[in-house]
Amino acid sequence: MTSAPGPSPRDLLAAATTRLAAAGVASARVDAELLLAHVLAVEPGRLRVLAVLGEAVDPAAAARFEELLDQRRARVPLQHLTGRAAFRGLELAVGPGVFVPRPETEVVAGLAVDAAREVAAAGGAPVVVDLCTGSAAIAVALAREVPAARVHAVELDPMAHAWAQRNVEALAPGLDLRLGDAHAAFGDLDGQVDVVVSNPPYVPPGAVPVDPEVREHDPELALYGGGPDGLEVPRRVVAAAARLLRPGGLLVVEHAEVQEAGARRMLAGPGWTGVRGHRDLAGRPRATSARRAGRGEPLRVPAP
């Protein structure tokens, strides 16, 4: 007795999109396609071809898709289900225990990339430090996009560090990744760094994230910045950057859109100059940059 053919990709995607949308998933169709492509081990473009051709999906694969779909309906992050997160053209390994990199952080990474490229274009070998690296998304992007750079990164949380180590080994094996506190790390690099970049924890204590994917699955250590304004950890990042940067070196730090004024206050002392705000792709204040004051060839701060 032959078994009945499996459902078509088109039917699976239509039903999944409806169910995800009913669960409040904003990107229901995209998520459904990415989950089914993951189960079938094909690229999303190939999945769309299979949907047009109407080829049947193996019943076992369809059952696996339903399992993942149920988890996504429960608002488990898509990236935890596929084990991958896209970042500036890279595919990073992510999962429980590490902050999932967001598209807005790609802009922050781009500011650091531009600054490092400027040093390289002048004939230097830029020294770059990523504080609070999480999955190592920014650090790996820098190492890949600026081959001349010597990139260093540090993460405090052992679980996040393990994910970062996996990404470094796969994508940027020459990167110097350390486990430790960003405030005290890299004493061997004091005064030698061209660019410090950070996406630190910065959520204020009362600002609980709305999305369940963030609130229930991103590690609290990666979210909440401490202090009444959420900027205690970012202030420690600024202090570390002041120690690490050479005169004229650039700091880029990510923050929430409501923290732009607070970020500027962190950099208002005589040790900093050229303070500038930068907006993300949605036009929201997302990062602040500044140069370390003192003698030295200043870096051009990229335009917002």
Tokens for 137, please give them: 């998304």
167 annotated ligand binder: no
Sequential pLDDT tens for the chain (304 residues):
334 567 888 889 999 999 999 999 989 999 999 999 999 998 888 888 887 777 788 899 999 999 999 999 999 999 999 999 999 999 999 999 999 999 999 999 999 999 999 999 999 999 999 999 999 999 999 999 999 999 999 999 999 999 999 999 999 999 999 999 999 999 999 999 999 999 999 988 777 677 787 877 777 777 778 888 999 999 999 999 999 999 999 999 999 999 999 999 999 989 999 999 999 989 999 999 999 998 644 443 333 3
Where b means 16+ CB within 10 Å and e means fewer, 2-29 reads eeeebbbbeebbeebbebbeeeebeebe
At residue 2, the pLDDT reads 37
At residue 92, the pLDDT reads 98
| Domain boundaries, given as residue ranges, for the chain | 9-74, 86-292
CA distances from 41 to 34, 37, 70, 143, 166 (A): 10, 6, 19, 28, 21
At residue 226, the pLDDT reads 84
At residue 157, the pLDDT reads 95
158 annotated ligand binder: no
234 annotated ligand binder: no
At residue 64, the pLDDT reads 95
Tokens for 92, please give them: 């990073």
At residue 82, the pLDDT reads 95
The distance of Cα 74 from the centroid of its chain, to the nearest Å, equals: 23
CA distances from 25 to 4, 76, 78 (A): 32, 10, 10
Whole-model pTM? Answer: 0.88
Domain 86-292: CATH superfamily is Vaccinia Virus protein VP39 (3.40.50.150)
Cα gap 270→59, rounded to integer Å: 66
CB 236 within 8 A of CB 196: no
SS3 content of the chain, % helix, strand, coil (to 5): 45, 20, 40
247 annotated ligand binder: no
At residue 53, the pLDDT reads 79
Strands (E), 156-271: 176-179, 193-198, 245-254
224 annotated ligand binder: no
At residue 123, the pLDDT reads 93
